[in-house]
Structure 1
């Protein structure tokens, strides 16, 4: 009874709010994550996964999601994350201008993949994960997980039926993809993501080479372009989740595991959403007419890509190592034959 009286007396003296609020809620971990994607696209490429994470994490952790350029411009994402201004990022290395040896391979590295499944296999079975982990650890950032998005196609106002038609076209695309395509007369243009639709309408841009047809329809670009080129310069966009190293290390192990599972679910969602969407919209979409550059002529682009690989490989030992993995992987897929590659 004496102990009980002492407990009740102490409780009466304690502030009511302190007793009413669970301790775990007072210590809730809060992260701010910015994605490369605008609101309409983020509804598919990341929001379902983050909503799921927050629901499961409950009072322990919450990730607040911000869309393209909402907190900082996409090109400043890496620096903001490195400094801890934001805690995590979903982007490709190229777009966020990370100062690593692997930056050039993010986004659409020309013809590094043919299908979306190539990307996770390259990272998980051919050694890219280890290289990315090492490179980002050097600069205080945790590379969390890589996955695939859609292939890279041209969506344009005027039809593209030959390489000649590409000349002079002002196109919104990724840095490395733009550098590669410039040899065919394409004029790469960099603008904030949310300005692209208007830029096509006003004639500032002739088109985009930033996505597949699923995104063209999802974000509104199919409403301002008339043609979709079925040839692509890459089978899948390679993007990743990243986090500030210190903030990541502060997480308890079970939340690190939950984060991993959440990212895996995001990767899986995109695999089927893009794969099905690309086919369905080519067949049933009514907003853009399909055009194709003949295979014989397109071989010039594929040959140029291999030369581009060698140019990149000559720049550093790490880049050479990545290019060698690409070569080995694609050689293996070619030897494996159908359905991995269709030998001709």
Structure 2
């Protein structure tokens, strides 16, 4: 073989080797991405913090490591309530949080977590997925450079922890109670003082007397926070959060930099966590409630009808006031339509069945 033939043959071998290598190397080795996720939750806090970590881990695993999500718990990269601005500005790439924390940006964000006398977890999913909710959410979030997706739900929340019994609306007046979102505005109408605190600050505030009462989530999380050590009256149901949706918000430019396949992958991972978290809360709340009442002496109380009726009255007034912009009006109208249509089915479906089952079986 002469020199020219050798070079030509070697070139073919080299090219062939490159093609073979390219074909045998997974596509996921190309275009590696590492994103920063900030959260409003304490690190590894059961349900909320661990749910955020599951989203991050699931996206990383589903992409074969091509899209790696590094999670920063509340305060590790930015303070919890600065997560929105961090992602909107591009300081972080995505957050896991409750959208009602952003009501100072726009009141309509409340509807995508929970509003007073609002939707249960199942109803919220139905509205977002099939009742026009996601489209309205996309429009709202895009005004702030975000793309948002459902990524968790704690289910119906408890009414809260109180140092004293609540027998009338008069007993609510003057109380300083931790409650974010529009529920806090309802408290103000009643005559209480609503205080917005991130999770990590609630117990010390309750212990010191800076607040008189607090809502948080439900028995599983409330047991972990130890509220029973400083307050013994545990009220139900929570008018303010009947199905508390959690969300992943992603910087819109980052979201749009992914192709359709990767967007579908991220959305599927968020949807999986939406189901997983809700299942986890339903599985663990019952045992936690039994421990609170049986071991720690917590006194379970149902809000009197007069008190809950007051919550309902002021809730509708507060919701009306969220319609002060075009998008706000359209979100409220869509929500109320869903509450009527989806709720009417629920009242003769799961709600009626569970009530009948409990009566029959005890």
TM-score range, shorter chain: 0.7 to 0.9
Q: Which of 13, 29, 34 in structure 1 is aligned with 2:33?
A: 29
Residue 277 (1) aligns with residue 284 (2)? yes
Alpha-carbon distance between aligned partners in 2 of 1:164 and 1:268, rounded to the nearest angstrom: 39
Question: Which residue of 188, 191, 199 corresponds with 1:193?
Answer: 199
Cα distance in structure 1, aligned partners of 2:205 and 2:318: 30
Relative to 1, partners in 2 of residues 1:187 and 1:4: Cα closer, same or farther, differing over 3 Å? farther
Matched, 1:262 2:266: no
Superposition RMSD in Å: 3.0
The gaps in structure 1 that reach 5 residues or longer are 10-20
* Contact preservation (8 Å) 1:38, 1:67: yes
In the alignment, which of 77, 82, 89 is matched to residue 76 of structure 1?
82
More helix by share: 2
Deviations 1:260-316 (A, max 9, x none): 121111101122122233344334433332112222442222122122222333x12
**Higher mean C-alpha deviation, range 96-105 or range 297-306:** 96-105
Q: Which residue of 1 aligns with 2:313?
A: 303
| Residue equivalent to 2:360 | none
Paired residues of 1:92 and 1:238 also in contact (CA < 8 A): yes
Measured in 1, the distance between the counterparts of 2:181 and 2:124 equals 19
Larger Rg: 2
TM-score (norm 1): 0.85
Offset, 1:27: 4.1
Which of 145, 154, 173 is the matching residue for 1:149? 154
For residues 247 and 151 of structure 2, the distance between their equivalents in structure 1, rounded to whole angstroms, comes to 4
Q: 1:325 to 1:26 in 2, by over 3 A?
A: closer
1:249 aligned to 2:256?
A: yes
Q: Contact 1:161–1:292 at 8 Å: present in 2 too?
A: no
Instruction: Report the Cα distance in structure 1 between the residues aligned to 2:312 and 2:329, rounded to whole angstroms.
Output: 19
2: CA distance, partners of 1:105 / 1:61: 30
Aligned length: 332
Structure 2: tracts of 5 or more residues without a match:
1-5, 15-24, 356-362
SS in 1 for 2:216: strand
TM-score normalised over the length of structure 2: 0.81
